[in-house]
Each structure stands twice: as C-alpha cells, then as structure tokens.
Structure 1
Amino acid sequence: MIAMDPTRPLIVQSDLSILVETNHPEFDTVRGTISRFADLIKSPEHLHTYRITPLSLWNASAAGMPIEEMSDFLQRNAKFGVPTGVLSIIRKYVKRYGILRMENVGNELYLVSDDTVVLKEISAYDSLKRYLEDTRGERAIAISPISRGVLKQELIKLGYPVEDLAAYRSGEFLPIQLRKEDTMEAPFQLRDYQKHAVDAFNRVGEGGSGVLVLPCGAGKTVVGIAAMARCNCATLILTTNVTSVKQWKREILSKTGLAEDQVGEYNGTTKEVRPITIATYQILTHRGKKEDEFSHMRLFSQRDWGLIIYDEVHLLPAPVFRATAEIQATRRLGLTATLIREDGREEDVFSLVGPKKYDMAWKELESKGWIAKVACKEFRVSLSAFDRDRYGASGARQQFRIAGENTAKLEVIDYLLRLHANEQTLIIGQYISQLELIAAHTGAPMISGGVAHEIREELYDQFKKGQVPLLIVSKVANFAVDLPDAVVAIQVSGSYGSRQEEAQRLGRILRPKSSGTNAAVFYSLISEDTKEQDFAMKRQLFLVEQGYEYSITSWNQTTK
C-alpha cells in the first residue's frame, strides 16, 4: 500500500480523469509518462485534465507499456491514492488487448483466444457470424482472409481490440539500399530515434502494421524510407498533395540507390505505376459523380505491393479506409504527428492501419536539438467597430468567420512584422478573402489552392533561399511542405477547434534552422470575447499536451 501524500502532482478520479498540477516541480516528467496512456482533454493554466480511455490503454499496450508500469506510476504520484475501481478498469481494458488474436495455421487464418468464454461470446453475436467460419476446437475459429480487416473493425466496436499476428505477403521484391552519403545533404545517417521508430515497426525482423507518431520536422519521410529499405519490396506511398508527392520522390532518390525510373508519381496530371509509386489521397477518392465508383482505387491492386505507407494517416479519407480493410495481408505503415482525427475514427486507424508502435515527445526532440525550440504566443484582439456591429447581428457560423477575419488583426500583423523584420515569416489562414487582403496590405505573395503547382513550388523555393522573406499561405500549406528556415508563423484564422490543424501549422516552423538559430515563434491572433476565442482554447490542447508553454496577451495600446 502506497501512502497518501498531498505534495504529489496528481489527483486520480473515479471517472478515469486525472488532474495534474502544472506548477509542480515534477510536471514535465509526469506529463511525459501520463501522455503514453491517457489523453489531454482540458488545459487551463494551473490544472490540466487527462482522461484514460480504452483506446489510449490499447495503444499503450501495443507500444509495450505494461499494466504494472501504469498502475505503479499512478500510485506513486497520486495525492490521495488511486480509487480501486480505476485500477480495476485499467486492468480490464489492458487485458483485452491480445485476448483475441489473428494467427495463421498452415494456409488458414484463425481468430484465436486462450479465453474460451470470450470466444464463445464473440461467436454468439449475430453481427459477426457472417465473418466467422468453422470452429477449430475451443480456442480457434477459422475466418476468411478477406474478412480480416472488417472483423477487426467490428470487434473493436464491441470492446475487443484484435492483436493481428497473421502473416503478411512479401510482395514484389525490390532491393532498396540506403545511401551512406545523401546527394543533397551529405553525410546521411539515421538519427537514434529514427532507428528506434523503424525497429518498433519492424518487430521480430519483419515489418507488420502500425503507426509511428513523430513531430513535424523530425524526419517522418526518412523513417518511411528506412522502413522501405528494411522490407525491400514494391511500395505504395499515399500522401496529402502534389507538393508532398514531389518531396517524397526527392527524398527517396537522394537517400537510396533507386533510379528515377523506379519511382513513379500518381496524381491528377501524372499516372506512373512503378515499383515505388507515390499517390495523393485526392486522386484515390476522385470520381465523376457521387454514385460513380472510385476508379483509381484499383491502384491498390495494380502491383504486388509489399508495403503501403500512409503519410499523415490522421487524414486518411473514409473511402481509403474501406480499401485498406481489404488489403490486410499487405504490410501497412502509418506516419503522423498526431493521432487526433476530427471525425473521431481513431479506432479505425488502430484496427486497419495498426496500433501506435512508437511515439516521440516533441519537447524531448527539442531538448536534443533535432527540432526548433518554439515559443507559442496568443494575441487577443478586440473586434473592429465595423466587425463588432456585424458580429452582433449574425448567426453562430457567420460570427466565427467574422471573428477570424477581424480587420483589427492587420495592426497586430504590422507590429509582428516590424518585430521580426529580418526573419523568414509565414502568415497562415483559413479564408482566402482575408489572405488576399493581407497580401495586398503587405505586398507579399500568397499561395492558395487556386495557385498553379509550378508557381507554388517556385515561391516555396524562393522562400527557402531567402529571396522571399514573407509568404502568405492558406491551408494548402498545412501539410507536408518543407520550409526549414521559417522562423515565425502568424496564424490569423483556422478551422474551428482543430487540434490536428494546430499541430500541422506549428510543424511549419519546427525544422532546425540552417542559420544555427534554433528558436522560432508561433503566434495566434484571436478575436477577444468571441466564438473564435472559445475554439482557440480547444486548439491549444495539442500544444500544451506536447509541453509547450502558451502565453496569452491582450492587444492594447501598451503592447503597441
């Protein structure tokens, strides 16, 4: 029995929520451990709230965190002890991971369990009977390989995550050798954490399925390439946009011995199916009319892929989930900076792509100099007189937009641009009309979805070279845009309370700087006492969860 001690940092509550004192001297250490098996849900200044969920426990289990470590941690750090019921619930859900397994026996695929009662219970569900075939004694049921994915989806809904230990196809053999010298950035070698991430995916010497969570700027593309080199097979890479496709191709050609004709692009204008093929999610989900088939989904079967990489897996579209359910015998690797999905389908990522196998704390990478040290600052700006009148006369949705486009933010932008006059700066926003106004006001170029890809690439290149010191970008730059020397990001508007978007936008300034200065600043301009302020508090959750200090300042005459 561990004695109670009110000087400890945690209060563990019977509803599975955990309160953490942010000013406690052990806060950073405690936060690093608790985030492995619980999710941050509230982050006021002095007391953060985490919640333990079945999925957070299953991901922790899949990543190798034992029940004893979770229980001991809570008991050592809880002020007033841990309610008995909480420990019982943790044990109950952690034990459920692995109680059902998928395994091969000869040429057959079985759902197996050492718990015969659970297996009988599963067999009794009418919703599952179509996926289950003949029983094989008391501990196994034969299932059709084509049902492998959808059965995992159905079982996790019932509270039984499946540990998938069944075999994977080798796929088309393709020798992939990592270069010792990068053709762009000599010399080249994997960082320690990148090796650990690849090892975690490549368990027992053979890649299986799973998700690796790494900060933007930590080299997720390099990790994906290293996983390809471990598997030595034809690989399909799915990513967010054409810019990302080209970035993947450049990285593959510079860091491996593959020839250019072995690496194909598959998007709206180019459709090359090669041993390494990089496609956009957009082309896979394209169809002429709503009732039409997704004609490009055939890409999943156009070669004998041995590995499929889902870049930014938190953005995986629903139709691609369905296709993924059908290819569970192919190794699958998800890469992301955050497992948060705005549609709440984290369980489908767990079931169909795989559980979280590796998660690297952002602040840990920052402390080692692998990503930039970022200060997160919010300016709360009063609505202009004109916008205030419109705001009061509008409905909720329009109020959010009026707050986002608040013209009083232009004055703050001017101040920040003067403050960072000689630094590479991005202004990021949601609304094209607002960004066009800012572009006209500052004279800086703007990139949006309507700008041709060639022009985007040219502007990105000029920004990287320092020829364009200020770039205004819409949400097209949220993902997979490599701008390593961006030092300042000014977020002028966003997508409601999207923690996912906050993570990606922060990622634009996280890469280490060639100048040697490894510090950056992320500003958010928020209209005070509006719906935008309410949603901003939700967006902050991701930053606080990763360990960033988040300062809030009212914009007033003193500031100026």
Structure 2
Amino acid sequence: MVVTDESPSPSLSLDEFQSALQRLGRSVVTASQVARVLECSHAEASERLAALADAGRIASADVSDDPVVWYPLDIEALSSREHRILFPERREVVVEHPRQFTRAQLAQFAHLVDSSGDAYIYRIREEDVWQAPYDHLEDLLRTMRDVLPERSPHLEEWVERQWGRAHKFTLATHEDGYTVLRAASDDLMGNVALQRLDQGEHVRAPISDSEVWVASERVGEIKRILYDAGYPVQDDRELESGDPLDIEVELDLREYQRSWVERFESAHSGVFVGPPGSGKTVAAMGAMAAVGGETLVLVPSRDLAGQWHEELLTHTSLSRDQIGEYHGGEKNIRPVTVATYQTAGMDRHRSLFDDREWGLIVYDEVHHVPSNVFRRSADLQAKHRLGLSATPIREDDREADIFTLIGPPIGTDWAALFDAGFVAEPEVEIRYVPWADEYARNEYVSSHGHERRQVAATNPAKVEAVRTLLEDHVGSKVLIFADYLDQGEALSKALDLPFVSGEMRHRRRQVLFDEFRTDRRDTLIISRVGDEGIDLPNAEVAIVASGLGGSRRQGAQRAGRTMRPVGSALMYVLATRGTNEEDFARQQLRHLAGKGIRVTERDAPQVEPVVDPSEEDAQGSDEDAPTDGIGGTDTSDETDTSDTPTDGDGDE
C-alpha cells in the first residue's frame, strides 16, 4: 500500500489489530510487525497504532529494541477471541473459540476430527470435497476463502484436483435406452475403469475408447468400485418416472425447501440434509410432485410409516385409497406405499419392488441404507432416488455408501436456518453427575468393557439429576432418553412416568405419543424408539440419561426432538464424572458442534445415594431384567406381541 503525503492514513480498528495479533501469534507487537501484516509502511503503521491508543483501545510500552510495543488493554477478551490456524500440508484447520458461522461454514467442506475443549480440529478429506454441496468449484473455493485465515495456493490446487476427480466418470442413457459409462479420457477408461470392472458382469461391450455399455442392474456396484478407486461417478441417466401419478402439495414450501426440490429435479437423485424441524418430509412431498410418478417410501419403523401416511393425507392431494402401508401390521400396496426397510429387504416380499413401476424411491432416515439388511432396497438404481436425514453419518465411516447408492447431499447450512428463525437453535449442555455412592463407584472400577460402560450409564445418581432438571423446567414438554431398560424402568418408578420402549405394545406406544402431541401429557421416558423420525413437535427439553456410547448421529437426533421453529430448545446429556462417559458425551455431540451449535459443560450437584445396595441385590442382577440387546441395551425399534412372527421392528 502506497500512501502519499496528501492522503490521510486510514484508521485501524480494534478488530483489525486483534486479527494482526492472531496472524503473528503474539500478544504484543511492534509497528514493524503490524506494517508487514497490513502491507503498509512503518510510519503509517505507527500512526495508525498511535491513533488507536489515543482512542483508549490499546496501550503501548517503551522497550529497548523497537523502541515501542503495542498490546490490547483487555488481554482476557483477546484470549477468548476466535483464532483460526491453517496447516495446508496436513489439510487441517484448528479453530480456538469458534463462532457459529465459522463452524457452519467449515462443515460444508471439512470433517470435524476433535471438538474437545475450546479448540476444534477440522480435516479436509477427499470425500469432503467430492460431497461438498456446491454446483461449481468457484462456489466451494469462495466459501473456503471466506472462512480460512489465509489463502493457500497449495490447498486450493489440491481441492481443484479432487473436484476434477469427481467429474471424470459419468453415467448416461444412450438414445437406444441402455446405460453408458463415459470417461473424461481414453486413458482413464483403460487404466482405471476397465482394470477394475468385470467384463461381462459390469461391462457389456465397448462403444468407443472412452465409452462402454454397462449393465444397468449393476450400476450400484459400478459406482462403488469407481468411488473406492478415487473417482466418484456423476449419474446423469434419464431415470424412470414410473406409472404417472398427479400429486399436489397443499402448503407453501419455504424458499430453501423449493431450492432443495429444484436441485433434486436437476440431479434426479440426492439426499436432503437439514436439521430436525427443517421440513425434510414436506420437501420430499415437493419432490414427489415434481417427479409425478408412483412412489415407494422406505422407513425404519411402523411408527414412522403411520406418521408418513397421515402427513401425506394432510399435506397433499392424495386420497386415502391412494396411500398404502406395507409392514408387519398391514400389507397394502397403493400408488404411494410406505414400507419398512426390514420388510422390503426380505426375499418373500420382493414383489413390493418388482410388481409396480415406481418412479421415485424415498429413503427416510437414509443412514440405514448402508447396513447390510437395508442395502437390498438400494438396488433400484434406475428410479429417482431421494434420501432424507438430519445426520447422514455412521460410526462405521460408511456414510460414503449413502451418497454412492442414493445421490449427492442437497441441503442448507444449519446456521442459516437458525438465523432465519426456521429452526430453534438448541442450547446443549453436558452435565457431569457424581457417583451415587462408593458402592456404585467400586462396581465401575471392578468391571470391564461393555459392562463398565453400562455401570457408568446407569449410575443411580442420574435419577436425582433428572428429577432436578424436571424441577428446573416445570411446565415444559420434556423427553427423557434411556437406552437401558433397567434404567428406564427405574426412572419410571422413581418419577411416576411411563417408559416407552421396544417392550411396549405398538398400540400403547401410539396412545402415549398422541397424548404427548396433544398436550395431555408433559413428560415421557423413551428408549431408542424415539430417536428417529417420530414427530413429537412440541418437545422443549431433551434429557439424555444414557446413550449409544458416543454415537454422533444419536446425539443430533435427540437434540432434534426439540429443534422446531418456535419456543426454546434445550438438551442435557448426563455423564458420570470420572468415567469414559465423559469422552462418549463429547464425541456424541461432535456433529452438533460442527454444525455451529455451542455445547457447554458443567457439574451436577452432589446427591444422596438413591438405591440401597441390599435393595439392588433383592431385586436381582441386570441379567434378570428384560433386554433388547447385549448387556441390556434397548436395540429394538418395535415389538409386536401378536401371533405374527416378528423381525426387528415387528415386521414379518
């Protein structure tokens, strides 16, 4: 910057000064150092620093070597200020005290590795670039430049290469109707695709040096093979629309929902990704109307199937005889059919797929698709495919399967929806609970593996911690989550509240859910059956007494029970102090932190022992209690005690 004698020096703001301190990594600086950061002369830097000092915003001190150094008056404010550091060679970003905007922007193209303490560590992986929700490379680079502390040509060149890799192979429909795989070059086709794809099974015949005819029924496998080779495939086929069905959505879509539907129409497939309460189901109805064909909706449980049925009746022009359900409770195939994954994956129900010309397959809670039992339904690659999920993450790191089998992510940054008031940003707190007594602590110390985790999760002191929170939120609608049946039953007995679990008959569960929705009941204790999809829109507080040992998806789902357009949104996660539950709790909430949600921590007050050891012995051990899985974990979605054989959620 060149400043003439006639031009006054531009003023220096406190924010610019603090940014200079961060870039230099120092708490005190000289005028020479500031001049390098501001790209101005030493004299101009001195003048601007002096003006800021005269305004009472910073201070200076004489030292022997410069002779003046400058420093902020409020060192504490500086220490709590956001500080971003880029390590381009490692493709990592470390952010101290990150703001919501920063976390939300980084989540668009980076993976949150660690969020313990005040520092968040993000890593930019190949798949993060491949799956970044942008139509053009420049849009992605613009977001990176907005949020990263400095430009890195090395990093941007790497991102550009990865973006290019994701556009090297394309699937298209030949004018004669068969499926074609096209490569960006002859070399890529010969040395990448044909080296990995099986002749005859995947590849039918060559068309040219860069094009081959491929088996349409093997498209899912072809995509996965090339993805594993580092080349995601762009799917530009003309997908089937199925038998025509006129559907009108009888409510106005929000602007971002319309944008989702437009992007889906362009790509023919994809995954709507947004926070709970953002209206993914309504947007899916918009996609159904856009396709205009008969639709199969796949869901993880009968509860959710019934909910979809009612939503379709309420918000679309479909009549009751146009909507069917297909699961262990009933088996009616209609132009729009809602089926459970379990039923759809069974050999004896393959007619569900084969006997009707579906135009669209909707995968609700799409993170289930990579599980072996659910992948059967993903074979329908010739149809329009739409996934829905607030949390398309898996603890086995197989979320790539979701985008390979279904389609690319289509979504809106969570922070934007919070700021616009469409969804309430939750206040999330990890509350550390002391042991009820030495007996409970000693039981933890002497146990190992899963048993140790269960002892920490079911710490009897959590009963009083839950009671305290309920007293703090009298009059609020509260959901209390307990993954262990014996803990849920203990809470139910102590608090005189119903415990909804997989052991409860389906009809009774529906009655309790309905009472909660209609404000006839303020509080429910609920097992894992409440994690996914069940619409309890007026919940204001979620209390997690125990969870899935750090499952990030579960943490986001449970926070999502309170994330609605109006009212407060509070979530408390109870963790036993001094146990591995502390780490599990932080890990479970990592995904929320990455989406721009602030997570705080505090200690619960010491409580008196809740359960007498002799009373525990009289009641029997954990092995005597009914369980839904190993060690008492409630893993079932649903149990039907009728004469119909059950499988998982009560489906045949």
**TM-score scaled to structure 2, two decimals?**
0.77
Q: Which secondary structure does the structure 2 equivalent of 1:318 belong to?
A: coil
Give the alignment partner of residue 90 of structure 2, picking from 9, 15, 23: 15
Alignment of 1:515-530 (within 5 A): 518-530=567-579
Q: Quote the offset at 1:168 in angstroms.
A: 0.7
The number of residues matched between the two structures is: 527
The alignment status of 1:160 with 2:231, answered yes or no, reads: yes
Deviation sequence 1:8-31 (CA, Å, 0-9, x none): 7342341222112325xxx33333
CA distance in 2, matches of 1:264, 1:33: 41
CA distance in 1, matches of 2:189, 2:316: 46
Q: Quote the offset at 1:362 in angstroms.
A: 2.5
Q: Which moved more, 1:338-347 or 1:242-251?
A: 338-347
Distance 1:68 1:524, change over 3 A: same
Deviation sequence 1:52-88 (CA, Å, 0-9, x none): 112111111xx3253344445545654465372x333
Q: Which secondary structure does the structure 2 equivalent of 1:9 belong to?
A: strand
Alignment of 1:267-346 (within 5 A): 267-285=327-345, 294-316=347-369, 318-319=371-372, 322-346=375-399
Q: Quote the offset at 1:124 in angstroms.
A: 4.3
The alignment status of 1:546 with 2:595, answered yes or no, reads: yes
Q: Which secondary structure does the structure 2 equivalent of 1:120 belong to?
A: helix
Whether contact under 8 Å (2:297, 2:361) holds in the other structure is yes
Structure 2: runs of 5+ lacking an equivalent: 1-18, 24-82, 608-652
Structure 1: runs of 5+ lacking an equivalent: 180-187, 287-293
Q: Which moved more, 1:168-177 or 1:74-83?
A: 74-83
Structure 2 residue aligned with 1:184: none
Q: Match of 1:194, as an amino acid?
A: Q
Q: Quote the offset at 1:340 in angstroms.
A: 0.4
Supply the RMSD in Å over aligned alpha carbons: 2.1
Structure 1 residue aligned with 2:612: none
Distance 1:246 1:127, change over 3 A: same
The alignment status of 1:368 with 2:443, answered yes or no, reads: no
Structure 2 residue aligned with 1:195: 258
Q: Match of 1:530, as an amino acid?
A: T
The alignment status of 1:217 with 2:284, answered yes or no, reads: no
Distance 1:412 1:65, change over 3 A: same
Q: Which secondary structure does the structure 2 equivalent of 1:190 belong to?
A: coil
Deviation sequence 1:137-193 (CA, Å, 0-9, x none): 2221111211211111111011111001111112011111222xxxxxxxx311111
Q: Which moved more, 1:338-347 or 1:447-456?
A: 338-347
Deviation sequence 1:222-254 (CA, Å, 0-9, x none): 111111111111100001211111111111111
CA distance in 2, matches of 1:316, 1:77: 33
CA distance in 2, matches of 1:173, 1:223: 20
CA distance in 1, matches of 2:450, 2:598: 30
Q: Which moved more, 1:258-267 or 1:542-551?
A: 542-551
Structure 2 residue aligned with 1:43: 115
CA distance in 2, matches of 1:83, 1:106: 42
Structure 1 residue aligned with 2:57: none
CA distance in 2, matches of 1:119, 1:399: 53
CA distance in 1, matches of 2:572, 2:295: 39
Q: Match of 2:118, as an amino acid?
A: H
Deviation sequence 1:279-336 (CA, Å, 0-9, x none): 11122345xxxxxxx3223312121000000001012253466434532111100010
CA distance in 1, matches of 2:564, 2:507: 24
Distance 1:198 1:69, change over 3 A: closer
Whether contact under 8 Å (2:341, 2:374) holds in the other structure is no
Q: Quote the offset at 1:381 in angstroms.
A: 0.9
Alignment of 1:102-117 (within 5 A): 102-107=171-176, 108-117=178-187
Q: Which secondary structure does the structure 1 equivalent of 2:213 belong to?
A: strand
Structure 2 residue aligned with 1:470: 523
Q: Match of 2:120, as an amino acid?
A: H
Distance 1:320 1:327, change over 3 A: farther
Whether contact under 8 Å (2:423, 2:565) holds in the other structure is yes
Q: Which secondary structure does the structure 2 equivalent of 1:367 belong to?
A: helix
Distance 1:228 1:141, change over 3 A: same
Give the alignment partner of residue 161 of structure 2, picking from 82, 92, 117: 92
Q: Which moved more, 1:546-555 or 1:306-315?
A: 546-555
CA distance in 1, matches of 2:221, 2:292: 28
State the identity as a percent: 32
Alignment of 1:396-415 (within 5 A): 396-415=449-468
**TM-score scaled to structure 1, two decimals?**
0.90
Structure 2 residue aligned with 1:243: 303
Distance 1:72 1:488, change over 3 A: closer
Q: Quote the offset at 1:202 in angstroms.
A: 1.0
Structure 2 residue aligned with 1:58: 130
CA distance in 1, matches of 2:289, 2:143: 38
CA distance in 2, matches of 1:70, 1:268: 45
Q: Which secondary structure does the structure 2 equivalent of 1:201 belong to?
A: helix
Structure 2 residue aligned with 1:132: 203
CA distance in 1, matches of 2:148, 2:530: 42
